[in-house]
Amino acid sequence: MSPRRILALVALALLAGGLTWAVTWRLSTPALTLNASEAAARKAVRVAPARLEEIRDTALVSGILKGGSEARLAAQVAAPILTVQVRAGERVRRRQRLVQLDSTTLQRQLAQAQAAVDGAGSGLARARTGARLKSTELAHQVKQAESGLAQAQLALEKAETGARASLAAARSEVERAAAAWDAARAQLQRLHEGARPEQIRAAQSGVRQAQIALEAARKNYTDSQLLHDRGALSGAQLEEARRQLDIAQADDDRAQAELELAQAAATPAEIAAAEAQAREAEAGLNAARSAEEAHIEGTAQEVATAREQVRQAEDTLAMARAARDQRLLADEDVRAAQAQLDQAEVQLRLTRDQLAHTTIASPVDGICTEVHAHAGETAVPGMPLVTVVSSAGVHLEAAVPARRLDQLHPGQPAQIQVDSLPGRVFEGQVRSISRAAGPDGRSFPVLIDVLTHAPGLTPGVFARATVVTQRSPSAVVVPTDALRIIEDRTVVWVVVGQRVAERPVEVGIRDERRAQIRSGVQPGERVIVSGAVGLRAGDPVTIAHDR
């Protein structure tokens, strides 16, 4: 087959397919254009455009206004009024500054009070430092007194030891002198009587015994001296060894003299000498006894003096310890300084409190209802400045039907109206909704706070509130007259071209005149609001009025 014939067959097939599609579409689709007979039979309808608008759903409740707390703020200090930062009827917040008083004078007083506190604090620090120094000084005095007592006790011990040693020496001297006197008297007696053979033998035996005793005393003294030099023997013990040596020496001398007298006959001269020696020995004994008595008296005085010094040192130590433990003067200085600081701090706190009172702030969230203060005036304590009514106090006690219960929530805005103030609308807010039914069993209590204030909003007044339960700021809305119920379906008739098109829709928020269309209609499309009786999809229409 030639190419020309093939192209002709293809063109013929395309033409046949196009004719078939056109016939099928014309049979299945209503005509959007009207012929002359259809134009004569079309029905007139009224339409409205679907618009993008805000729509709200509201609930109307009514009840009685209840009163709230009122705070009358007055001046606490005397000061000029600098600024008044609120007007009657304005809403205020808790801690919002309403009136400011001049604080210049109180600022100076605060600086002075702070300086007084600083000075008192420094004084207390100095007093405490002085107390610590006094304690250190007293502790040092205690240590000195303890050292003085130890020295006095050591001196007493030395005095007592020395007294004992000196007394022992004096007694040894008396004993030696007594032995010498006895020997001299015995010698004189032998010279007068003469010696017998047995006396000579006894004298010889006495010499031998005296020499043995003398040798033993010498050895004992030598050993004692070595021990004393090494610190193993006291001075008193060494002195006792010396005394025993002197006695042994005197005994030996007496024994030798007795032997000599026994062996030789005495001459008048020897007798005279012996008598003189006896007198001299007696005088020596008397002198030794007198010296002993004087020594006893002197050492006793030294010991008594040392004991008195110990007693005085003990008294000094006791007083030092008592002064250290009490520290009366230092503690009194600290207490006085602390009292001065406490007084200065009290004055500082009072001044700070007065300074804080120069700013008058609202104690609650609410409405300023009265203003008595004016800039330039001088406020005095007790002078009324402003009055604030708590917003949590003025509220509407209303009731909501059970069918509306789930639509109300705390925080929803409300508009409140009272008959005594016609045309006035006051802002409100839902505070709470009770889940317990009221006395009628069909409604539930709801509390709505009044956010604005006016003199007519007094307790006991009947009021109505419109509560916004739902809100859509940009919704496709149509008049409620456009809604149709067909076989349990909600539809609207839309004019497309010059014919009717049926649109199933999903309806959202409704108010008295409008309905939100969530799906099925686009903004700008024209919906039929009247004249739709008897219409069917695809019917031709003419627009009688477009509103």
- Which token pair is 107? 């600022």
Is there a single domain that holds both residue 214 and residue 92? Answer: no
pLDDT cut 90: percent of the chain above it: 27
pLDDT(5) > 60: no
What pLDDT does residue 506 have? 93
User: What pLDDT, in 10s, does the model give residues 167-193?
Assistant: 777 778 888 888 888 887 877 776 666
What pLDDT does residue 455 have? 64
Is there a single domain that holds both residue 431 and residue 364? Answer: no
Residue 190 domain flag: yes
pLDDT(126) > 80: no
Average pLDDT score over the chain: 81
Instruction: Tell how strand 541-546 and strand 43-49 pair up.
Output: parallel
What pLDDT does residue 156 have? 82
Residue 208 domain flag: yes
Is there a single domain that holds both residue 374 and residue 428? Answer: no
CATH number of the domain encompassing residue 451 = 2.40.30.170
Residue 11's pLDDT band, with cuts at 50, 70 and 90, is very low
Mean pLDDT calculated for residue range 110-117? 90
User: What pLDDT, in 10s, does the model give residues 420-474?
Assistant: 888 889 999 999 998 888 888 888 999 998 887 766 676 668 899 999 888 888 9
152, 312 contact by CB (below 8 A): yes
Domain that holds residue 97: 72-101+358-386
Residue 524's pLDDT band, with cuts at 50, 70 and 90, is very high
Residue 504 domain flag: yes
Q: Which of 506, 364, 492 is nearest to 47 (CA)?
A: 492
pLDDT(276) > 70: yes
E-state strands within 17-176: 43-49, 51-66, 70-74, 79-84, 91-92, 97-101
pLDDT(385) > 90: yes
Is there a single domain that holds both residue 174 and residue 97? Answer: no
Is there a single domain that holds both residue 56 and residue 118? Answer: no
What pLDDT does residue 133 have? 53
pLDDT(199) > 80: no
What pLDDT does residue 390 have? 74
User: What pLDDT, in 10s, does the model give residues 361-382?
Assistant: 998 887 787 899 999 999 999 9
Residue 528 vs residue 327, higher pLDDT: 528
What pLDDT does residue 12 have? 44
Residue 342 domain flag: no
- Total domains present in the chain: 3
237, 228 contact by CB (below 8 A): yes
pLDDT(32) > 50: no
Quote the CA–CA distance of 470 and 56 in Å, as a whole number: 6
Residue 26's pLDDT band, with cuts at 50, 70 and 90, is very low
Is there a single domain that holds both residue 233 and residue 373? Answer: no
Mean pLDDT calculated for residue range 326-349? 80
Query: Read out DSSP for 184-204?
Result: HHHHHHHHHH---HHHHHHHH
Judge residue 229's burial from the number of C-beta atoms within 10 Å of its C-beta, 0-12 exposed, 13-18 middle, 19 or more buried: exposed
What pLDDT does residue 326 have? 67
Q: Is 513 helix (H, G, I), strand (E, B) or coil?
A: coil
Mean pLDDT calculated for residue range 220-247? 88
Name the pTM for this structure: 0.35
pLDDT(256) > 90: no
Q: Which of 368, 386, 404 is the last residue of a domain?
A: 386
Residue 301 domain flag: yes
Crossing angle of helices 235-263 and 104-193, rounded to 10°: 10
Is there a single domain that holds both residue 413 and residue 276? Answer: no
Is there a single domain that holds both residue 233 and residue 124? Answer: yes
Residue 235 domain flag: yes
Is there a single domain that holds both residue 438 and residue 465? Answer: yes
Residue 345 domain flag: no
Residue 377 vs residue 233, higher pLDDT: 377
410, 433 contact by CB (below 8 A): yes
pLDDT(147) > 80: yes
Residue 336 vs residue 490, higher pLDDT: 490
CB atoms within 10 A of CB 124: 20
What pLDDT does residue 10 have? 38
Is there a single domain that holds both residue 116 and residue 147? Answer: yes
CATH number of the domain encompassing residue 80 = 2.40.50.100
What pLDDT does residue 416 have? 92
Is there a single domain that holds both residue 89 and residue 138? Answer: no
CB atoms within 10 A of CB 195: 20
Q: Compute the Cα dihedral for 301, 306, 312, 315 and give only its sign.
A: negative
Quote the CA–CA distance of 387 and 67 in Å, as a whole number: 15
Is there a single domain that holds both residue 156 and residue 301? Answer: yes
Residue 20 domain flag: no
What pLDDT does residue 57 have? 84
